[in-house]
Structure formats: C-alpha cells, structure tokens
Amino acid sequence: MAKEVVPEPARRRRRPTRQGTVLSERLIVHTALRVLREHGSAGLTARRLGTALGADPSTLYRYFAGMDDLTRAIGEELMGQALDSWTATGEWRADLRALGLAIHSSYLAHPQAATLTASRVTGRPREIAVDETILGILRTAGFPDAAAVRLYHAFIDLSLAFAALDAGALALAEEARATDEEMWTSTYARLPAQSYPHIAATAPLLAARMPHSAYPFVLDTLLDSAAARLTAPHTAFPCDEASA
C-alpha cells in the first residue's frame, strides 16, 4: 500500500541533509534526473537517490507516495521544462510546431528519464498546463471541439512516441549507438542491387537520413493535414467517420 505523503506545510521544518541542503520536491526530482543519467532507469532506487541527496531513503516518502509517484513528478518536470522554453506567437500552426519541438527536445535532453516517463500520464499541474495550452491553441484557431480533441490526441501522442523512440537510441551505450548508425553504410549500402534494387538505389540517402529523427517531418505532415481541414471545414477527419 502506498505511503501517505506529508502535506507541504509539514515539510518546511526540514533540517539540512548531510550535504548541507534542505530537501524539496524540486530538488529531489532534479537529483533523480541526475541519477537516471548516470545509472539508467533500473538504477533509480530510493537507496541510491537518498545517497545522492545525503539523506535517509525513507525521507523521500515525506514528498512522494512511492517511486511511481516520483516517476510521475519526473515526467511533469520534463513537460514543464518544455513549456518554459516555449513562447507563443499567436499563429496556431507555428505555435504548435514550436511546442512539439520543445517537448521533443526536453525529453531528449534527459533520455533515460524519457524512456521511463514518456508513456505516463502524471495529472500534475505542469503537464496539465501543457494540455490546456495545446487545446487552447486548437480551439482558438477555430477547430470544433471534437476535432480539437482528436488533433490534441494525435499531437501529444506523436510527440511523446518520438521522444521515447529517439531517447531510446540516445540512452544506448555510445558504442552500441554508433554501431546502429553505421549499419546504414556498413550493411545497407553494400546490399546487391539485383536482390535489393530499391535499397541500393536510395542507399546514400538512407545513410544520410536515418541517423536523424523523423519527428519534425511527421509533425509537419500532421499540421499540414490539420491546416487543410481547417480551411475546408466540411472535410471530416478519418476518425470522425469511424467513430460516428
């Protein structure tokens, strides 16, 4: 059973840790990001985190109901960092594109944390602020509510799916990642044209393209489709017909 988190006012009397710092939820989350970077998702334990903070591991449960609660807080931090780095311009397509790239970049800056949290729903304030922002952009642009929700769903899932995919590659050991990237020149570029004519014809392009994320291109495709439907309001989204 999850332990009860101590309310915020009761935490403020905290004495400094052995390292001379006063604990806070934000400090714990930032330290957890460092532990994840150094030890990977399997290495994030209450004991290791307590050691990094210079505090007894049990102290963490004054701030979080358990390690899963901490995981959600880490996901919220990544979302919050994305929102903090983004500035609205008032042009819906440019704003959504910039926010999507900010989310993707925020998760890739912490790849081990991204693989741990990209599939989670935190229900915390900063994540909720991102969701409110996306829906606000779409509704203000003139999308009907049903279309706005479908586009929000596609947009956020696309952003987080690519964040998890690309972070997974970054989280690999450097040697393994280099081996994967070199496969396009060491293997694919050497396949015989008589057996693999299409790969052989495009091998140089594949080698140049595949080590990079496809997210910006796919994001633009989604936004282009949304923009086309906004200018032709009687054109239904494919999922509108399926769910009618």
Task: Report if residue 8 sits inside a domain.
Answer: yes
Residue 190 makes CB contacts below 8 A (sequence gap 6+) with none
What pLDDT does residue 3 have?
Answer: 47
Report the distance separating Cα 47 and Cα 58, nearest Å.
8
Q: What is the CATH number for 12?
A: 1.10.10.60
Residue 46 lies in a domain: yes
Does a structural domain hold residue 31? yes
Contact criterion met (CB below 8 Å) for 76 and 132: no
Query: How confident is the model at residue 211, as a pLDDT?
Result: 93
Looking at the structure of the chain, the number of domains it has is: 1
Which residue segment(s) compose the domain that 28 sits in? 1-65
Residue 122 contacts residue 70 (beta carbons within 8 Å) = no
How many CB atoms lie under 10 A from the CB of residue 217? 10
Query: In one letter, which amino acid is 70?
Result: L
**Which regions of the chain are under pLDDT 70?**
1-21, 233-244
How many residues appear in the chain? 244
Which pLDDT value is given to residue 231? 84
Residue 76 forms part of a structural domain: no
The answer to whether residue 30 is domain-embedded is yes
